[in-house]
Amino acid sequence: MQWPANEDYSFQFMRVLGAAQEGGSTVSECLLAASAIDPSSEESWYLQWNKAADLNKKRGDLAAASGHLKTALSNWLRAANYYRTAQIFMAASDARQGVALEQMFACSQLYLKHVTPAGEIVSIAWSEDRTLQGYFLPAPRTRRAPVVICVCAPDQYKEEHLYRLPRYAHERGLSLLLIDLPGQGYRRGVDRAFGRYDIETAISNWMDYLAERGDVDPRKVAIFGDGLGASFATRGAAFDGRFAAAVCDAGIWDLHERAFLAARLAGGAATDFAEDIDKLCRGSIARKIKCPILVALGEHDWLDAGHVTQCCDALALSGQQIDLKIFTASETAASHAQFDNPTIGNEFIFDWIADRIGRKR
């Protein structure tokens, strides 16, 4: 732990440091920033990461102007992640948070414009006057490719997936659609739809969008929920039967919440979740999912690995096509969302997806 007295800072530092091996940071820049951060000062956190972001943005712009696009792309990706990191602990009332996020979006969209094959910034209607934004990254050298829809957690931005996922998808002949859900992304803070009971309807709208594209095989679409986004992915796959595979939490996070709330509403302390696993799993939303499911978590994730194992076993006994992968501390990738070693997590997850919807390479 970088700062034992500040777990939040330490977790976020692990998150940005772990991005180094995927191209979302460099180890030296992370260590340099950390050496100047006062863990009791949010201002210190912002200044150091914003400084690193500005340096990378400037290098990227200069490289692009000189015709060195590979260097520009690398620097823009790092800059976007550093801008995201800089604003994490800022109050929404601080105007600098909005500026940092705008810079993150700008760097990400420069990357999409100049990468080969070029990415697309797409928008769809959801409800009333609301629109949702996504990034479509086509698989190289293919006509109708399988696609993975990637869903973020509430504390994530789809822009993070630009350094984390394209390599693993494209090496396996898979296109990517990185999506915002209501209240996420560029509408965060102004869209009050986040937390609606029917948020999964937005995922179906994204499926409708893919079905209309000529470069997509609509029979081979998977959904991947990263971190707490796995709960959204579960609901999306449960209420839309068009998915061919789902990497999600199989409704287990929701089961934990239901068990906790039921106990508290009854006037007692929260009981052990493991006391009635079978009963809880019989009511799991995951039982509505018709496609193969992968549940992937770290040994030290926020959900207890033992409880998750019991839930997956119960769902398998009920006939669900479900696989479980627990990344152990001995192999790393044992933290939440495999932030400590995302490479191992992504390799396993995208191999599993490729085995079910398409193109193994």
d(C-alpha 75, C-alpha 58), whole Å: 8
Q: Is 232 within 8 Å of 155 (Cβ atoms)?
A: no
pLDDT recorded at residue 154: 81
Domain chopping of the chain, boundaries: 1-115, 116-361
CATH classification (class only), 116-361: alpha beta
Q: How many CB atoms lie within 10 A of CB 317?
A: 10
Q: Is 323 within 8 Å of 352 (Cβ atoms)?
A: yes
Residue 235 has which token pair?
A: 């609901």
Cα 291-284-353 angle, rounded to 5 deg: 25
> Helix, strand, or coil here: 132?
strand
pLDDT recorded at residue 338: 84
pLDDT recorded at residue 266: 54
Closest CA to 143 of 175, 167, 165: 175
Q: Is 179 within 8 Å of 103 (Cβ atoms)?
A: no
Domain 1-115 listed as CATH 1.20.1440.110: yes
Mean pLDDT by 10 residues, the chain (361 residues): 92 95 97 96 97 99 98 99 97 94 97 97 86 95 91 89 96 96 66 60 94 96 90 93 93 63 51 59 82 93 83 89 94 82 94 86 47
pLDDT recorded at residue 133: 94
pLDDT recorded at residue 162: 98
